[in-house]
Structure 1
């Protein structure tokens, strides 16, 4: 449900990017020098930028809605919502709606769906392997002591 607004808004922007391009022109005028310094091949015209963001919204929204790459898609949508909120000349209701969406996306981006996070899994895998190594060292030392005792006993036996 959270993704639906991004999918429909993205489809609307893809169908008529010129309407949204005029609204974001002040923002793109400020961002254009940064884009040109970063990489001169990046598009800087507002219509292309609106289309790119709309395509990202549709793809990430569909991924979020279908449960594919949920954390990544929620993060992409959250990052894209920030300039959208900055360029939205709407009233307080639009701002509050966008903040509510941003909060939901941040929760979705942080949610591990009941599975441990990558950091948790990595830390515990390292801990388990360290315990296994310590156990193997203790076993090797014990086996070496037993072998040394057996060898010493064997030397004392006649024959």
Structure 2
């Protein structure tokens, strides 16, 4: 369900990037100068963002690489939210209120995406599993050392007892 807004919005943007391009235009130059290979044409940038939202939205919806897809969607939503819903720049109280509502909706979506990105569906991350394996390995090594120490102690006791057993066998 979370992905649906991105897939539909992405399709709309790819089909008609002009609506989004006009809002994104002030941010294009600073973004393009900081990120190499990013298009400096507002319409191309809008289409690229829409394509990312379609692709990552479909991945999230189908459960394929959901954590990476959620992060990609969050990354695509932040700049578009700042460009499209800059409510603090609005003078008209009605438009300001409407833009603030859209801005807060998108902030909520980013929060949901970050939760989805952190969700492991009951499967711990690779880092967690690696830490667990290392801990388990240390525990196994300690257990093996204790067992070896017991075995060596038992062997030493047996060796110490040999002369007594040998005397008993000879005398008796």
Cα distance in 1 for residues equivalent to 2:10 and 2:149: 65
Aligned to 1:148: 156
Alpha-carbon deviations, 1:122-159, whole Å to 9, x = none?
Answer: 33222211110000011111112222333343466369
Within 2, Cα distance between the matches of 1:55 and 1:119? 31
* In the alignment, structure 1 residue 52 sits paired with structure 2 residue 60: no
When Rg is computed on C-alpha atoms for both structures, the one with the higher figure is: 2
1:9 is the counterpart of 2:9 = yes
- Number of the residue aligned with 1:79: 75
Output the CA distance in 2 between the equivalents of 1:64 and 1:98: 17
Structure-2 separation of matches of 1:42 and 1:107: 28
Deviation at 1:82, TM superposition (A): 0.5
For normalisation by structure 1, the TM-score amounts to 0.84
Rounded Cα–Cα distance in structure 2 between residues aligned with 1:63 and 1:121 = 25
Extract unaligned runs of 5+ from structure 1.
none
Aligned partners of 1:48 and 1:125: how far apart in 2?
A: 47
* TM-fit CA distance, 1:114: 2.6
Give SS of 1:104's match. Answer: helix
**Higher RCO, 1 or 2 (CA under 8 Å, sep at least 6)?**
1
Map of 1:95 onto structure 2: 103
Deviations 1:95-144 (A, max 9, x none): 12212211211221122223334443333222211110000011111112
Q: Which residue of 2 aligns with 1:27?
A: 27
Structure 1 pair 91/42, CA: closer, same or farther in 2 (3 Å)? closer
TM-score for the superposition, normalised by structure 2: 0.78
Rounded Cα–Cα distance in structure 2 between residues aligned with 1:34 and 1:73: 23
Give the total of aligned pairs.
155
